[in-house]
């Protein structure tokens, strides 16, 4: 059998088997008929079986000879090995799953994927939710067996999640009353009560039985931190990363002082920050409207400036952050389209303010403009849209933060350089965000090593970044739950800039920014070390392309650059799409007012 065909079959088989083992992942990818009614297996045995499964597949992919594969499939093999090694290291060595309760977040994601994604008529989605709710108490009870070394800080985090889940159930009750018949409504209310009872018992178990016996040692430790860095392909030592973060914070502070003088001379940075933050929308609805308007402007700029190509028929909504995520995403976030839905919708989340936080200052006009660039065009949404077109099912799982989030830092900075929304307040907040990325690098290193407590990290962000306390607490929660992710943001931006420099040196007169941008976007969220290899064959392919003797129109040249960066996009989409009878029905409930 041809090695390339064999490898593609292997990719597909791994993809199908891994999704089958994780039904909520299946829902998020758009396999709604197969998985929306299911909850995962929450047992300890399932965790250990997943670890064995990953080892078997590492061995399978290792046996494939990269020299016999086409350049793009050799990259996919590299991706598979790195990704599976990292997953196995996180599960088998770091083992946060036995220290932090997973049930609250899993329940939130399970409900969100069906209730809020607009892939089918509401009544059809509610029928699936009935089955998922029926299975929910069983999963919650099973998940207790995994929590073998509970840590107080993590327990308290998930107790916070549990206090926010009732919002989902209240929404389900309201929808049931308005849209379901009396028989189905009674069934739904009965299952909601059963699910809430299961979660209340789970919460009582955490408070009464688990919390008093919890350990306090929440840091993963320097050895595990080193291991995670290596798994991500980051060669720098923690000490070197710490030094990089400190130097970047100092550099960005000086730049903020310079821009601050343009806003008001002889005024301290802290006072300038307060002046910029004072200019904000007058409420949550106004925040959402402003983000939708900013999203449209950003998309127009990307098109007009030929910054990057945008796929046809892309779709994005701006909504409030789901309640169960607000303490982890105190400003906002992004949810990518489901690859196997008929109509692929991305979601930009914006977290509304509350009575405990002066959140609207964080949602000032300048910061919201920059947030929109990072989360929509040409940031996370544009990258996610292009991943949908890639033929490899493995690329669907590629979500390396150094590339995905590093790209958002890169485009935020680059668009300012190109003149997009580059007034002094907007530039000031862009520099503040860059400084935040450097601060996260410092905190990531220190928190993971136990050289700083979460409270000290919160105070660090308040003192050095001027961050609202509730926002700072959410930032620190993410840093402790996802060690090494926070530091990749600034590191990834710098690696992308270095990669761009290398590509430019190789292509020389044939280099265009649109070629580089399209190549990064259309490669998906590959880890930087794998992205470098992807760029090698893309550059080689571009250099082998005949140079046209006659000048072409700019739009045609732009199209050619796009084609060079992502060959056979239509074939790619065809290869990964399910059969028509397996596709989800088209969404019917999207309101036009939610569109940008």
What's the pLDDT score for residue 495? 97
CA atoms within 13 A on the CB side of 66: 13
The residues, ordered by sequence, that sit 6+ positions from 536 with a Cβ below 8 Å of its Cβ are 71
Q: What is the mean pLDDT of residues 218-230?
A: 94
DSSP 320: E
Tens digit of each residue's pLDDT (9 = 90 or more) over 150-191: 999 999 999 999 999 998 899 899 999 988 889 999 999 999
CB of 457 closer than 8 Å to CB of 443: yes
Alpha helices, H only, 466-512 = 469-481, 488-507
What's the pLDDT score for residue 497? 98
Is residue 550 pLDDT above 80, yes or no?
Answer: no
CB of 121 closer than 8 Å to CB of 182: no
Phi, psi of 388 (to 5 degrees): -60, -25
How many Å is the maximal CA-CA distance in the chain?
Answer: 77
The single residue listed with the structure tokens 């008529």 is 121
CB of 347 closer than 8 Å to CB of 335: yes
pLDDT band at 343 (very low <50, low <70, confident <90, very high): confident
Q: What is the mean pLDDT of residues 241-248?
A: 97
Residues found in the chain? 596
Quick one: which H or E segment has residue 34? helix 32-35
Measured CA to CA in angstroms, residue 380 lies from 278, 304, 340, 524, 542 at distances of 28, 19, 19, 10, 26
What's the pLDDT score for residue 359? 65
DSSP 582: G
**CA–CA gap between residue 5 and residue 7 (Å, rounded):** 5
What's the pLDDT score for residue 344? 87
pLDDT band at 582 (very low <50, low <70, confident <90, very high): very low
Strand partners, 399: 525
Is residue 584 pLDDT above 60, yes or no?
Answer: no
pLDDT band at 314 (very low <50, low <70, confident <90, very high): confident
Instruction: Average the pLDDT over each of 162-176, 370-384, 449-463 and give the range with the smallest value.
Output: 162-176
- Is it true that the peptide bond before 371 is cis, omega within 30 degrees of 0? no
What's the pLDDT score for residue 428? 98
Distance between terminal CA atoms of the chain?
A: 49
Tens digit of each residue's pLDDT (9 = 90 or more) over 11-45: 999 999 999 999 999 999 999 999 999 999 999 99
How deeply is 79 buried, as exposed, middle or buried, from its count of CB atoms within 10 A (0-12, 13-18, 19+)?
A: buried
Q: What is the mean pLDDT of residues 319-334?
A: 91
Q: What is the mean pLDDT of residues 287-311?
A: 96
| pLDDT top residue among 279 and 583 | 279
Q: Give the strands of the sheet with 332-335, arranged side by side.
A: 315-320, 345-350, 332-335
Is residue 587 pLDDT above 50, yes or no?
Answer: no
Tens digit of each residue's pLDDT (9 = 90 or more) over 175-186: 999 888 899 999
Work out the mean pLDDT of the chain and round it to a whole number. 90
Tens digit of each residue's pLDDT (9 = 90 or more) over 65-122: 999 999 999 999 999 999 999 999 999 999 999 999 999 999 999 999 898 888 899 9
The single residue listed with the structure tokens 């926010």 is 164
Is the C-alpha dihedral spanning 382, 385, 390, 393 positive or negative?
A: positive
203: Cα separation from own chain's centroid: 28
Tokens of 318: 């701006």
What's the pLDDT score for residue 47? 98
What's the pLDDT score for residue 524? 83
**CA–CA gap between residue 444 and residue 480 (Å, rounded):** 8
- Please compute Rg for the chain using Cα positions: 24
DSSP string, 199-232: HHHHHHIIIIIIGGG-B------HHHHHHHHHHT
Closest residue by Cα to residue 463 from 257, 249, 157:
249
Measured CA to CA in angstroms, residue 285 lies from 24, 276, 290, 291 at distances of 30, 20, 9, 10
Tens digit of each residue's pLDDT (9 = 90 or more) over 42-78: 999 999 999 999 999 999 999 999 999 999 999 999 9
**CA–CA gap between residue 241 and residue 444 (Å, rounded):** 10
């Amino acid at each position: 059998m041809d090695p390339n065909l064999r490898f593609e079959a292997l990719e597909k088989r791994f993809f199908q088997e891994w999704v089958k083992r994780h039904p909520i992942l299946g829902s998020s990818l758009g396999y709604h008929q197969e998985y929306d009614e299911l909850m995962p297996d929450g047992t300890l045995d399932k965790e250990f079986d997943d670890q064995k499964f990953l080892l078997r597949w590492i061995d399978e992919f290792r046996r494939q000879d990269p020299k016999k594969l086409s350049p793009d499939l050799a990259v996919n093999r590299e991706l598979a090995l790195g990704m599976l090694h990292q997953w196995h290291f996180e599960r088998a060595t770091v083992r946060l799953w036995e220290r932090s309760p997973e049930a609250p977040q899993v329940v939130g994601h399970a409900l969100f994927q069906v209730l809020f994604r607009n892939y089918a008529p509401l009544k059809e989605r509610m029928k699936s939710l009935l089955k998922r709710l029926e299975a929910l108490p069983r999963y919650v009870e099973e998940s207790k067996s995994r929590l073998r070394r509970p840590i107080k800080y993590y327990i308290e985090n998930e107790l916070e999640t549990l206090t926010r889940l009732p919002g989902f159930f209240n929404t389900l009750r309201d929808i049931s009353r308005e849209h379901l018949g009396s028989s189905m409504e009674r069934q739904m209310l009965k299952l909601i009560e059963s699910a809430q009872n299961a979660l209340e018992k789970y919460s009582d178990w955490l408070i009464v039985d688990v919390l008093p016996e919890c350990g306090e040692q929440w840091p993963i430790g320097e050895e595990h931190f080193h291991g995670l860095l290596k798994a991500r392909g980051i060669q720098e030592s923690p000490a070197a990363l710490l030094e990089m973060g400190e130097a970047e914070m100092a550099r960005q502070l000086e730049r903020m002082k310079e821009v601050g003088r343009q806003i008001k001379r002889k005024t301290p940075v802290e006072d300038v920050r307060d002046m910029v933050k004072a200019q904000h929308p007058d409420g949550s609805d106004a925040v959402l409207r402003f983000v939708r308007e900013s999203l449209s402007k950003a998309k127009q700029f990307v098109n007009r400036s030929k910054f990057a190509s945008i796929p046809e028929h892309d779709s994005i909504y701006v909504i409030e952050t789901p309640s169960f995520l607000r303490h982890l995403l105190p400003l906002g976030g992004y949810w990518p389209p489901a690859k196997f839905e008929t109509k692929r919708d991305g979601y930009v989340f914006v977290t509304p303010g509350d009575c405990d936080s002066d959140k609207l200052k964080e949602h000032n006009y300048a910061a919201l403009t920059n947030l929109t660039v990072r989360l929509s065009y040409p940031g996370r949404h544009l990258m996610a849209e292009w991943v949908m077109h890639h033929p490899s099912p493995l690329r669907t799982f590629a979500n390396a933060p150094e590339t995905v989030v590093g790209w958002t830092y890169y485009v935020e900075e680059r668009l300012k350089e190109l003149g997009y929304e580059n007034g002094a307040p907007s530039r000031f907040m862009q520099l503040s965000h860059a400084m935040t990325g450097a601060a996260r690098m410092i905190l990531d290193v220190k928190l993971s090593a136990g050289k700083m407590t979460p409270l000290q990290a919160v105070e660090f962000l308040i003192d050095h970044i001027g961050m609202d306390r509730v926002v700072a607490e959410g930032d620190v929660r993410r840093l402790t739950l996802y060690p090494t992710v926070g530091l990749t943001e600034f590191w990834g931006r710098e690696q992308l800039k270095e990669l761009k420099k290398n590509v430019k040196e190789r292509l020389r007169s044939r280099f265009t920014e649109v070629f580089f941008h399209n190549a990064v976007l259309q490669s998906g969220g590959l880890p930087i070390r794998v992205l470098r290899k992807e760029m090698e064959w893309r550059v080689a392919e571009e250099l082998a392309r005949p140079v046209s003797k006659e000048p072409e129109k700019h739009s045609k040249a732009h199209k050619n650059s796009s084609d060079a960066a992502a060959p056979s996009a239509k074939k790619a989409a065809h290869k990964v799409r399910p059969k028509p009878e397996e596709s989800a029905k088209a969404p019917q409930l999207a309101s036009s007012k939610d569109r940008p």
